[in-house]
Structure 1
Amino acid sequence: MKILTKIKDNIFSKSLSENATTITVLEKTGNQIYTGPFAGLVIPDILKPSLKLAEALGLYEYALHRFFSDLINKDIKNIMVIGGHKGYYPAGLSNLLRPENMYVFEMDSNFQPLIDSWVEANNLKPYHTFGEASEEILLRWNNKIDFLLIDCEGAEDFLLQPQKFVWQKNTDILVEIHHFYDNKILGNLISRFKNTHDLSIIYDDISENKKIENVLEGLEIKGTFRGHPKHRWIFDKNRNKIITAGIFLYMSVKR
């Protein structure tokens, strides 16, 4: 029992250390995202206790940044995010691209206040918010979507079906691939979209850790963070915690 308690205490102290580092960063940067495509975005007070250090620094999922840069050269007026979570990507994309419509789906209603908090803190155009992205909603969807971002923990196979949800044939898509749930999912999606989209596979950038260390050094902050790949994990079918790797698929409509 004492050994177990000690392990829990160590885990808790590591979590506190990263959070303390994040709070120190925010104090130095004026409570704004420090760099990256979402730089300058004000971080709501409600999110400060749970914000990842990489998010506060603007280096979160650094490998995706060049694909967001690709979007600024396109006429992106309507964005859909399936898996809004705590609102980091809806807010960042809304602030960067200034779409006419931002549609956000999030099944967990507990996240809704967090998603909304970015809108108020940054004076963003209010989102259209939904719960689950059900088959009924996606089948009946009539509004044009220029860009779709999906992070839904293994639901990619259901959500991305261009033969069924035909509007997806004309939509640029960025999806996180949870191959530990389904090792055929990447190949399946490539087969479905290769005739209508130009495809790019994206892998986590391990150098993200070094970039974070360099920024902390520049800010004269001595802190700790979980880093890659410790922040990426899932429960397998036996409820064992396993470390995963980040893989994404970017699908740009053929012009």
Structure 2
Amino acid sequence: MTGTAPTSPAPHNAPRRPLVAILSGAGISTDSGIPDYRGPNGLWRQDPEAEKLVTYEYYMNDPEIRRRSWRMRQDGPALRARPNAAHEAIARLERSGVPVRVITQNVDGLHQLAGVPDRKVLELHGTARTVLCTGCGARSPMSEALERVAAGDPDPACTGCGGILKSATVMFGERLDPEVLGTAVSVAKAADVFIAVGTSLQVQPAASLAGLAAEHGARLIIVNAEPTPYDELAAETIRTPIGTALPELLATLAP
């Protein structure tokens, strides 16, 4: 009889594989056609009024803001975007067996589309791929709401309770999910390598995760086109384009 020899159990004193934590911001998705917010050509710099579309108070109290928000979702590139070389490099590192956790400020879902398991992605600001009713809390696919917008409903309401619908993202004026943030803090403290990529590290509390990781002994690497407030804590700062720099960097961490 032929067969595969049984695998010997790993010794109890086997070395722990270093944990790589990756904090991603809008800059990682620009190569996928999604504009960033605070860069030289960022959305907020091009149209300061656009910030109102993702501010909770304006959104809830002004039907015209909601209608503009739905048009932005319908016409925007986020839901049509595909992962780029940087997203794929992270997924490739995770598949190699290196312990990887992604903490993202993005709401585009591109890490998961690239192949990173959902359980290994912490979406600090929620997801634009789901709709949330502010009345009853029901969730549904964003695609269904956008079908209603395309059919002529400029501000679709919840089909269950009639409440105001919004994307399941954290708007300005809303609190981050404390459970998600708490897990992100734990990951930052445990990380051996902490890579901040495509983020200005200006939005708190997400930005503080970089400093927290460095304080707990992680090797902090910042990959961003412009300087950040945490550059002095970094072991390495990389200014070259993310689509080239991140795959090269992560290749050095693979087995």
Q: What band does the TM-score fall into relative to the shorter chain?
A: 0.3 to 0.5
TM-score, normalised to structure 1's length? 0.35
Q: Whose radius of gyration is greater, 1 or 2?
A: 2
TM-score, normalised to structure 2's length? 0.35
